[in-house]
């Protein structure tokens, strides 16, 4: 019964926040852009997105612990393991709003698709290789313009929380552009929104933001991929063993 009540409460809060308040935020941002500047409008909306990301875990009664915030920097490729849909608000709330590669199914979710588009993100049909090539070009333009970008290189959510094999294509882009990679390890979100489950399960969530990795220190994208994957996996194992207690 508790899980049902928490699920209903969270869904109502999320819908009201994303659809109602989100619409107001975007309208205010538009007005600021119209009468002040694009930069001020962006700062306002980004701040609201960050607040939403953090509030999402408060609404779920899930204490959140984050280590390594001093490693956050601009214009980097943010690479994280993928445990559940809650990975996205976790990263947006504690690292910051940024463009991301999202699965095409999120295009059908009102509110969420607005903000993914607003942040400059892309929707990917993983079954369409032609579309994948187009997304890679968009990623290159985004990183080349000085923005950071979020991607989950496993390609899908983990079923049991273990880190899957990272795909190398995105790391080839990082090496070509000379953009640093920011590895991120996440633990606990898999229990909040289990795959193929309709109910939420409140509990602690933790994240490690590792020091950036310079792709120029590796002779090819395979070596870089292995290093980033190992860094993320070891971080996840550390969080799992510690139960999220990083102190």
pLDDT per residue as tens digits for the range 99-114 = 999 888 888 777 778 8
> How much is the pLDDT for 132?
78
d(CA 60, CA 239): 20
Determine what percent of the chain is predicted with pLDDT higher than 90: 62
Angle at alpha carbon of residue 212, lines to 155 and 237, rounded to 5° = 60
Average pLDDT of the segment spanning 22-33:
92
DSSP 157-223: --SSS---PPPSHHHHHHHHHTPPEEEEEEESHHHHS-TT-SS-----EEEEEPPPB-GGGSSSHHH
Average pLDDT of the segment spanning 44-57:
93
Angle, helices 87-94/38-59, rounded to nearest 10 degrees: 130
pTM of the model: 0.90
d(CA 95, CA 130): 31
Domain coordinates of the chain in residue numbers? Answer: 61-242
Q: Which fold has domain 61-242?
A: Glycerol-3-phosphate (1)-acyltransferase (3.40.1130)
């Amino acid at each position: 019964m508790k899980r049902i009540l928490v699920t209903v409460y969270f869904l109502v809060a999320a819908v009201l926040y994303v659809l109602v308040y989100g619409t107001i935020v975007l309208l205010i941002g538009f007005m600021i852009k119209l009468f002040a500047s694009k930069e001020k409008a962006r700062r306002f909306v980004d701040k609201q997105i960050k607040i939403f990301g953090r509030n999402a875990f408060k609404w779920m009664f899930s204490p959140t612990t984050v280590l390594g915030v001093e490693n956050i920097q601009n214009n980097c490729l943010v690479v994280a393991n993928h445990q559940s849909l809650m990975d996205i608000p976790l990263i947006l709330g504690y690292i910051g709003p940024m463009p991301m590669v999202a699965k095409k199914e999120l295009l059908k979710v009102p509110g969420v698709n607005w903000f993914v588009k607003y942040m400059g993100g892309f929707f990917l049909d993983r079954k369409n290789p032609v579309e994948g090539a187009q997304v890679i070009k968009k990623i290159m333009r985004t990183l080349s313009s000085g923005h950071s970008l979020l991607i989950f290189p496993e390609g899908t959510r983990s079923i049991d929380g273990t880190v899957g094999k990272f795909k190398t294509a995105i790391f080839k882009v990082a090496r070509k552009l000379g953009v640093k990679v920011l590895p991120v390890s996440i633990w606990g979100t898999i229990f909040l929104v289990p795959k193929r489950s309709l109910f939420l399960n409140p509990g602690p969530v933790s994240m490690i933001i590792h020091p950036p990795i310079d792709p120029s220190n590796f002779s090819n994208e395979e070596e870089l991929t292995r290093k980033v994957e190992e860094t993320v996996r070891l971080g996840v194992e550390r969080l799992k063993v510690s139960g999220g207690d990083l102190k």
